A and B are shown apart, each in its own frame.
Chain A
């Protein structure tokens, strides 16, 4: 659960990129493409997590980077 701390740190380091992507979502095709790519690449892990992680242990291992 403490992994969220490191995620916030990464988000802080990438704040400019994240802001530019979020701000560009309505206008920029490149920003939309990037957001779509991240979303798409997350799907396999979400699906696998949904089916296989019955225990929180497995899930927290998945979160450890």
Chain B
């Protein structure tokens, strides 16, 4: 029984990890950018993924965030929704636990639980807020703006025009002024390019620069790899000739062979 649950947990970790990799790489461009505009149907679908967390080893928040991201919900909105979803769910789980364990709740256990409770509160209070603020940084938005101008070339009418057409390319006024002061758009564009390369894996649609026609500029487009290549890479790393597993196997075989040969020579 115990062994069985270990296998389930291990499988949940592995499959969950692969799903996360795939969704991270191939997720569609989000169209829901904040929690309040989440359609009811998608909310229900995300809720169904939450139910999967009953399987041991499946992460409740991980599952819901990944499911939401696959359903075109922005990462920050998905995280916020999953936290709100946690409140009734965890309250229910707590009530259930309390009912089941009400007979063996001694005072000693009470102290343990109190310590765990306080530590969980402190840890969450410290971690959740910075996590939610992992939003596109203002600096990145500002340099995106510059890059728009760099592409647009010198604006007509002698005035420099900022392409702030999309909601997410708007920088705060103070930054906008700074951007205007620095005319060195080409230099900045190079920086955007490097910044995007560095952040390509963690970026959100919100920071992806847009051309005026709605598409991404070609230098900001993601390189897409077919899923089969991804699976192949994973498989090669796990089962391939050079994988740690295979190497260990070869090493053991080699040791066995040398042992046999020495025995044979001594006999």
A contact set with B: CB distance below 8 Å: 1-14, 30, 33-34, 36-49, 52-53, 55-65
CB distance from B239 to the nearest CB of A (A): 30
Instruction: Find chain A residues with CB under 8 A from B82 CB.
Output: 65
Instruction: Find chain B residues with CB under 8 A from A1 CB.
Output: 94, 97-98, 101, 113, 116-117
Indicate if B93 sits at the interface (CB-CB under 8 A).
Answer: yes
The residue in chain B whose Cβ has the minimal distance to the Cβ of A10 is B83
Instruction: Find chain A residues with CB under 8 A from B113 CB.
Output: 1-2
**Is B54 a contact partner of A48 (Cβ separation < 8 A)?**
yes
In order of increasing CB-CB distance, the 7 nearest A-B pairs are A41-B47, A5-B120, A2-B116, A9-B124, A6-B124, A63-B93, A5-B121
A40 to B83, CA, bound (A): 15
Indicate if B100 sits at the interface (CB-CB under 8 A).
Answer: yes
- Complex interface bits, B198-220 against A, C-beta within 8 A gives 1, otherwise 0: 00000000000000000000000
Q: With A38-B88, A59-B93 as given contacts, are A14 and B50 in contact (CB-CB < 8 Å)? A: no
Indicate if B128 sits at the interface (CB-CB under 8 A).
Answer: yes
CB distance from B106 to the nearest CB of A (A): 14
B-side binding surface: helix, strand, loop or mixed?
helix
**Is B38 a contact partner of A37 (Cβ separation < 8 A)?**
yes
Indicate if B56 sits at the interface (CB-CB under 8 A).
Answer: yes
Instruction: Find chain B residues with CB under 8 A from A57 CB.
Output: 56
Q: Which among A6, A41, A55, A64 has the highest number of chain B CB atoms within 10 Å?
A: A41
**Is B117 a contact partner of A46 (Cβ separation < 8 A)?**
no
Among residues 42 to 78 in chain B, which have CB atoms less than 8 Å away from a CB atom of chain A? 43-44, 46-48, 50-51, 53-62
**Is B125 a contact partner of A13 (Cβ separation < 8 A)?**
yes
A39 to B88, CA, bound (A): 8
**Is B96 a contact partner of A41 (Cβ separation < 8 A)?**
no
Q: With A5-B119, A65-B61 as given contacts, are A12 and B53 in contact (CB-CB < 8 Å)? A: no
Q: Which among B44, B62, B90, B122 has the highest number of chain A CB atoms within 10 Å?
A: B90
**Is A49 a contact partner of B123 (Cβ separation < 8 A)?**
no
Q: Which among B89, B120, B128, B132 has the highest number of chain A CB atoms within 10 Å?
A: B89
